[in-house]
Amino acid sequence: SSYPSAARDDDYSEGVPFAMPSSYQSGYMSIEKQRQSLPIYKQQNSLLYLVENTSTTIVIGETGSGKTTQIPQYLVKAGWADGNQLIACTQPRRIAVQTVAARVAEEMHVNLGLEVGYSIRFEEISTPGVTKIKYLTDGVLIREMMEDPLLTKYSVIMVDEAHERSVSTDMLLGLLKKIQRRRPELRLIIASATIQATSIAAFFDNSKQRQLVDKDKSLPSRKPAILSVEGRSHTVLIHYVEEPVDDYLRAAVSTTLLIHKMEPSGDILVFLTGQDDVDAALQLISDEAENGSEGIFVLPLYAGLPRSDQELVFSPAPRGKRKIIVSTNIAETSVTLEGIVYVVDTGFSKQRFYNPIADVEALVVAPISRASAQQRAGRAGRVRPGKCFRLYTEDFFMHEMQAEAVPEVRRSSLVSTILQLKALGIDNIMRFDWLASPPAETMVRALELLYAIGVLDSDAKLTSPLGLQIAELPLSCNHAGRLKLLIFSTMKEPMVAKMLLASAALGCSNEVLTISASLSVQSIWVSGKGRLKEFDEARERFAAAEGDLITYLNVYEAFLASKKSAQWCHQNCINFQAMKQVLDIRAQLSRLLQRLGIPLKSSGKEIQAIQKAVASGFFVNASQLEVSAEGDLYKTVRGGLKISIHPSSVLFRATPKWVVFKSVMLTDRHYMREVTAIDPAWLTEIAPHFFQCRK
Ligand code: ADP
Ligand code: MG
């Protein structure tokens, strides 16, 4: 084999130097000592042996055991990144990619971007020829297949956090299984925090498959191996509430303050559902802790968090203070926080749900699974025995919560997923090998929609010049086709890409570029509940009668006029980091348009052209106002769903007759977000095939 053998025992004979009394002292431990104290350290040789000898190694180990940060380093040390290939490690979340890469660079004493790099959508921090370990989102690795279908750059690909079962993780697993058939020497490591390894092992079991190269003894075994990393967590005492709580946010805040008052030192981790919740809780905690707040140091943790705030979360609290981290689901398994002793679990998270009948995908605040609840509780036992306060009853835990979450492919719209598969040359979408197959209706709906926006033809083939795949994987594709694909895959959402491409003919690509970039960041607003009034006023200042997308344009222009001032952003409840991202993404998209030969044109004061471009992208979400006894409700053209404008929209009070929206949120009812007013006459013009058949 061209690969080095696993290191022999005596290379690593130091072993664990001493039993860890409590890693609370980790601040005093050298990084090297800390690394050696991790559970995975003892398994280093077994791991390297398995990677050497089997195609697929499944590693199970609880959060904090060292899977993400250590395994790639062991692989480098064993020579897997010698030569021209490197090691990839995927994460479902961008924020995990960034923090983990930074941590590993620190452990290896190198600058981030050299030996250790990372890649997330719109941001590639690595150096070809130098980088040996690359952390990246699963989505970005899938995108890399457009250029390098067999991912030949990589000797080992580690798919991390597989237990999360995100759509892109599942899709990646299916694609990697395909790649493995063509590249039997490729090693896969699938890492998971929970023990559902058997289904993954069965999925990757190629041992029964006949293959000519079987005789080649240098190839690894095609039967997957499973390695369990023994945990070292402490006991966590679970408390339940006696009666269901009606306001989980307030309950979380009062429980947190009670812990602070009653319990000995140790940091607190609070699980909420989204950025709005987190901001609101932060405000409530600081309001209510007025007198006692000297002793606490409260920090938010969510996906769109600015870089500087991310660093605070991972560094120790100021001397004598108790750190309180208010987080979304992110802290469940994807990032490791030191020093947590108390967990407050509201029992909810924001989840995607797709209804193929009404054809809407909505974000819903819904109960987590028992497996998630256990993960959350586990975060309290990292450094010493801890406590978890569940804000739901024991009865609810036992009888109402599902044992495990339903994989995301079974509860999402698959429009962008199917487009990506098509772009990768996978023609028979229905026969794609999924770990858990999505509902057939969902696939059909996605195909219908891709046909409606003109990406697929009536044979469900990519329309020219998007098409032109010659093999199962597109080894060649003409240049223009490739670029157009790049736009679609870059934008992730095909509807945004459609809008951008449509803007060229409408003479407003300059404006729509800004809108597309603004739609690609988490949120340009900072909406802390404590600043609600201020926030409303700020939004009023930029509000456009045509809707939220045009409002983004106003914000962007005012931001440029402020000379990109951070202070200006703060005064206007705008997220400065997000605006910098908008600038950056805009520049990247603009280069893409140039390469495509689409000139940048500005429509000036002519807003209608922009609205038309928006309608061209989002026409499938067209909705008509219906005045009824229940108040102003809209009905979607596709699916006939009754839906309201979300209060966060600038059109909340305006209620234009016809609108298109970008996304749906489901709470007490369906709400549309990011809404734009349109003229219904455009619809038949933009998509005659789509609207005529429905009249
Ligand atoms: P796993 O992937 O198994 O959940 P990780 O490799 O993420 O575990 O973490 C292993 C250890 O590395 C943690 O227990 C923690 O001590 C340390 N660690 C990880 N990330 C950071 C970070 N950003 N800052 C400080 N320490 C970290
Ligand atoms: Mg991890």
Distance (Å, rounded) from C-alpha 81 to C-alpha 83? 6
Do residues 614 and 499 lie in contact, with contact meaning Cβ atoms separated by under 8 Å?
yes
For residue 334, which phi and psi values (nearest 5 degrees)? -80, -25
User: Which of 508, 513, 511, 497 has its CA nearest to residue 617?
Assistant: 497
Q: SS3 for 127?
A: coil
- Is the complex ipTM more than 0.95? yes
Predicted pLDDT at 644: 93
Distance (Å, rounded) from C-alpha 314 to C-alpha 547? 39
Residues 6 or more apart whose CB falls under 8 angstroms from that of 613 comprise 499, 500, 502, 503, 506, 508, 512
Residues 6 or more apart whose CB falls under 8 angstroms from that of 230 comprise 39, 42, 61
97 Cα to the center of ligand 2, angstroms: 10
Q: Which atom of ligand 1 is nearest to the CA of 34?
A: 16
Exposure class string for 297-318: b at 16+ Cβ within 10 A, else e: bbbbbbebbeeeebeebbeebe
Taking phi first (over 0 means left), then psi (-120 to 50 degrees means alpha), and beta for anything else, what does residue 547 get?
A: left
Distance (Å, rounded) from C-alpha 54 to C-alpha 70? 20
Pocket test for ligand 1, best of 336, 337, 375, 382 (most atoms within 8 A of CB): 336
Predicted pLDDT at 475: 26
Q: Which atom of ligand 1 is nearest to the CA of 314?
A: 24
Taking CA atoms only, the protein residue closest to ligand 1 atom 25 is: 314
Q: Which atom of ligand 1 is nearest to the CA of 71?
A: 6
Count the neighbouring beta carbons within 10 Å of the beta carbon of residue 292. 11
Ligand 1 within 6 A of 63 CB?
A: yes
81 Cα to the center of ligand 1, angstroms: 22
Taking CA atoms only, the protein residue closest to ligand 1 atom 22 is: 103
634 sits in which H/E element: strand 631-636
203 Cα to the center of ligand 1, angstroms: 29
In 5-105, DSSP assigns E strands to 56-61, 86-91
Amino acid at 551: T
DSSP string, 274-307: SHHHHHHHHHHHHHHTTTGGGGEEEEEE-TT--H
- Looking at the DSSP bridge assignments, the partners of residue 154 are 86
Do residues 617 and 500 lie in contact, with contact meaning Cβ atoms separated by under 8 Å?
yes
Distance (Å, rounded) from C-alpha 279 to C-alpha 39? 35
- Looking at the DSSP bridge assignments, the partners of residue 271 are 327, 345
Residue with tokens 């009653």: 262
User: Which of 234, 229, 225 has its CA nearest to residue 205?
Assistant: 225
User: Which of 589, 417, 584, 418 has its CA nearest to residue 503?
Assistant: 589
Pocket test for ligand 1, best of 43, 75, 98, 103 (most atoms within 8 A of CB): 103
pTM attached to this predicted model: 0.83
Q: Which two tokens stand for residue 677?
A: 């007013």
Predicted pLDDT at 464: 54
546 Cα to the center of ligand 2, angstroms: 44
Ligand 1 within 6 A of 266 CB?
A: no
DSSP string, 10-28: GGGTT---S--S-GGGGGG
Ligand 1 within 6 A of 61 CB?
A: yes
User: Which of 121, 145, 92 has its CA nearest to residue 585?
Assistant: 121
What does each C-alpha distance from 125 to 101, 111, 122, 214, 254 come to in angstroms?
Answer: 10, 11, 10, 39, 42
End-to-end CA distance of the chain: 65
Task: Please tell me the chain's helix, strand, coil percentages from 3-state DSSP, rounded to the nearest 5.
Answer: 45, 20, 35
Predicted pLDDT at 453: 76
Taking CA atoms only, the protein residue closest to ligand 1 atom 20 is: 336
User: Which of 34, 31, 108, 98 has its CA nearest to residue 74?
Assistant: 108
Q: Which atom of ligand 1 is nearest to the CA of 102?
A: 23
Residue with tokens 């157009």: 484
Per-10-residue mean pLDDT for the chain, 695 residues long? 33 30 48 92 96 96 93 97 95 92 96 96 91 96 89 97 92 95 95 82 81 65 90 89 94 95 94 89 82 79 79 85 93 86 96 83 89 94 93 96 93 87 84 92 88 81 47 32 52 76 90 92 73 82 95 97 94 90 88 79 92 93 87 86 91 92 86 94 85 56
Distance (Å, rounded) from C-alpha 183 to C-alpha 511? 45
Residue 430 DSSP symbol: G
Sign of CA dihedral 659, 662, 665, 666: positive
Taking CA atoms only, the protein residue closest to ligand 1 atom 10 is: 66
Amino acid at 399: H
66 Cα to the center of ligand 1, angstroms: 6
Count the neighbouring beta carbons within 10 Å of the beta carbon of residue 482. 18
Ligand 1 within 6 A of 163 CB?
A: no
User: Which of 28, 27, 35 has its CA nearest to residue 68?
Assistant: 35
Q: Residue 90: nearest ligand to its CA? A: 2
Q: Based on the number of CB atoms within 10 Å of its own CB, is 695 exposed (0-12), middle (13-18) or buried (19 or more)? A: exposed
Amino acid at 499: M
Distance (Å, rounded) from C-alpha 21 to C-alpha 232? 12
Over its C-alpha atoms, the chain yields an Rg (Å, rounded) of 26
Predicted pLDDT at 198: 78
